[in-house]
A and B are shown apart, each in its own frame.
Chain A
């Protein structure tokens, strides 16, 4: 089951050129949708205006070497390990879904573009990656949808209540679930296949109205946040901390003179679910 390339099976009824054309159309839809989103919401304008303001406000200037270091840090912490999340469950679910999506999408591209017919034997690695990515995405996605979603965890809403914000996660789950079920059922061209194609069209065609583009603008926002810290602007947030020995000598800090540097967690010991 995990070693069969479903797209090679499908090539008996749908030509590989059509499959490849479909994938290219999906990539174009994502690019066009994201650009539309950026223009419509003015996010690029906001980003560059904030950048210009911080440059003009007499803040510390950041050199290009430091900018590269910040970009690497953003890549390692905020993107590759989803460091933004404070809640461990959300972080794990996000990592599962994100890497699941990357593996699944990458394997789909390779399977369709390089091994689309039974004449080209598919290396097991790629079919395994297709399945592994899909299953990881489903595990993370359904965990998030039923248990971790803030509407359920913090607002006390029913896990089955659907709203506009769910367009991305639901179309993603529908597309991958139907894809795996379709492959399990023999990768034919029946009703399941039609549903799989429809769900995939909704996922990639709804970028301007869904959260899909967050995979592009979230890293940009994380980068901007780190640069803002480096320039000292830090969104006007306080920069004094107890780590600085001079601050520990302030008269207001007298009561913490002998206290440990790590006081543990207070309200953050508990997940927000006291609705």
Chain B
């Protein structure tokens, strides 16, 4: 189900207009607040919900798995590098999640492609892509495994 805007919370900043991949978040011509101009075309990507600095946008869940009285709300905290979700079920059960959205300060891990030397012919002909994860190290000979790298699958984290 599509997004909708709490009019008392929206301040018409335009972040949702900017980020919507379907270009369906627009500014109302009477109240200068955001609204979803074409709910049929909304695929609930939550981009606008997360980008809204006032938390003024919400999404109605599908009635089959999220009947009336439920709530699924999210808060993306860029400065802390986290995203938090609160799921409220109709019977009062509540679930809270907190996860990272970056592991390094924003903008510090952008590859400087202009400074990278041009690829050689061998590199161009190779099947490997630029920045192929280094830990595979196929060029080193031998396939590295979790065990050989001292890594472990942790229950509840990876499976």
Contacts and interface: CB of A to CB of B under 8 A. Distances in A.
Interface of B is mostly: loop
A237 B88 CA distance: 10
Given A254-B157, A267-B51, A238 B86 contact: yes
B13 A150 contact: yes
Given A236-B71, A247-B98, A251-B157, A242 B51 contact: no
A90 B13 contact: yes
The 3 closest A-B pairs by CB, nearest first: A154-B14, A272-B18, A238-B84
Contacts of B104: 259, 263
B99 A242 contact: no
Contacts of B22: none
Interface of B: 6, 8-9, 11-15, 17-19, 26-32, 51, 53-55, 71, 73-75, 77-82, 84-86, 88, 96-107, 154, 156-157
Interface string A233-274: 001111111110001001111111001111111111100111
Contacts of B97: 238, 240, 252
B106 A274 contact: no
B105 A264 contact: yes
A47 to B, nearest CB: 9
Interface stretch (A68-76, A79-87, A130-138, A195-203): A79-87
B27 to A, nearest CB: 5
A259 B12 CA distance: 33
Given A238-B96, A253-B99, A263-B79, 13 more contacts: A87-B13, A150-B32, A155-B27, A165-B29, A235-B55, A236-B73, A238-B74, A241-B77, A242-B98, A262-B80, A262-B105, A265-B79, A266-B102
Contacts of B54: 84
A177 to B, nearest CB: 21
24 contacts: A84-B54, A154-B27, A155-B26, A163-B30, A164-B29, A165-B32, A221-B8, A235-B6, A238-B98, A239-B96, A240-B96, A241-B77, A241-B84, A242-B81, A242-B82, A251-B156, A252-B98, A259-B100, A259-B103, A262-B105, A263-B105, A263-B106, A267-B15, A268-B15
A240 B18 contact: no
A53 to B, nearest CB: 12
B60 to A, nearest CB: 13
A66 interface: no
B47 to A, nearest CB: 10
A268 B78 contact: yes
A86 B54 CA distance: 9
A236 B99 CA distance: 18
Nearest to B12: A150
A29 interface: no
A46 B100 CA distance: 36
Nearest to A217: B8
A151 interface: yes
Given A235-B73, A275-B18, A241 B32 contact: no
A85 B11 contact: yes
A235 B77 CA distance: 17
B55 A237 contact: yes
A60 interface: no
B102 A263 contact: yes
Contacts of A45: none
A153 interface: yes
